[in-house]
Amino acid sequence: MTRLWLVRHGPTHAKSMVGWSDLPADLSDTAKIARLRAYLPDAPVVSSDLTRAVTTADVLQPATRLPHDPALREINFGAWEMRTFAEVEAEDPVTIRAYWETPGHVAPPGGESWNAVRARVDDAVDGYLSRGHADLIIVAHFGVILTQVQRALGIGAYAAFGHKIDNLSVTQLAHGAGGWSAGPINHQP
């Protein structure tokens, strides 16, 4: 069995859809980072290759740091990147509402559908599961974590979107011979 410790990166403070834009994380809350570090097991750490995830993983001071993985990036929002919901809705209310209200095959122009994100992340996580780690810490993004919550709970994408995933929170999932199980979701150490 492998226990996955999914950590959402530190906050960017952006008020828009941030996917593949490489914004820094605010890691100034040293007390919260210390609690996070104390809560997590001594386990290998892998992160998305985006700066906000890389620097968050680095402050955890892992003994084993796996290479950054672009397959663990956030949703590619394409033409919606760095824009607010209201800005996009003013131009294309049908597509943006469909994306968030009936997630699946709908994609932002030049971006990824939810199903594409889920397939990309599932493939990456399956690769890590095959390595046989007892515990693995994955520092990633809101969308990445929700794909695995959806998978572990066996729920639809819309139901997965109902879960809150705060910055610097931990979501614990496990996979073994009996399938998936979920521990705390959005735990605040």
* Position 34 confidence tier, pLDDT thresholds 50, 70, 90: very high
Tens of pLDDT along 37-52? 999 999 999 999 999 9
Q: What integer pLDDT is reported at residue 148 of this predicted model?
A: 98
145, 171 Cβ separation under 8 angstroms = yes
**Distance between CA 151 and CA 95 in Å, rounded?**
25
Residue spans per domain, the chain: 2-182
3, 164 Cβ separation under 8 angstroms = no
Chain mean pLDDT for the chain: 97
Q: How far apart are the first and last CA of the chain?
A: 23
Joined together, the tokens standing for residue 138 give 């994955």
* Position 125 confidence tier, pLDDT thresholds 50, 70, 90: very high
Tens of pLDDT along 78-109? 999 999 999 999 999 999 999 999 999 999 99
51, 22 Cβ separation under 8 angstroms = yes
pTM here is 0.96
* Position 1 confidence tier, pLDDT thresholds 50, 70, 90: very high
* Position 185 confidence tier, pLDDT thresholds 50, 70, 90: very high
Task: Write the CATH number of the domain with boundaries 2-182.
Answer: 3.40.50.1240
Q: From residue 161, how far is each of 32, 88, 104, 148 by CA, in Å?
A: 25, 19, 12, 11
> CB atoms < 10 A from the CB of 162, how many?
10
CB-neighbour burial class of residue 89 (10 A; exposed 0-12, middle 13-18, buried 19+): middle
What is the DSSP pairing of strand 2-8 with strand 170-176? Answer: antiparallel
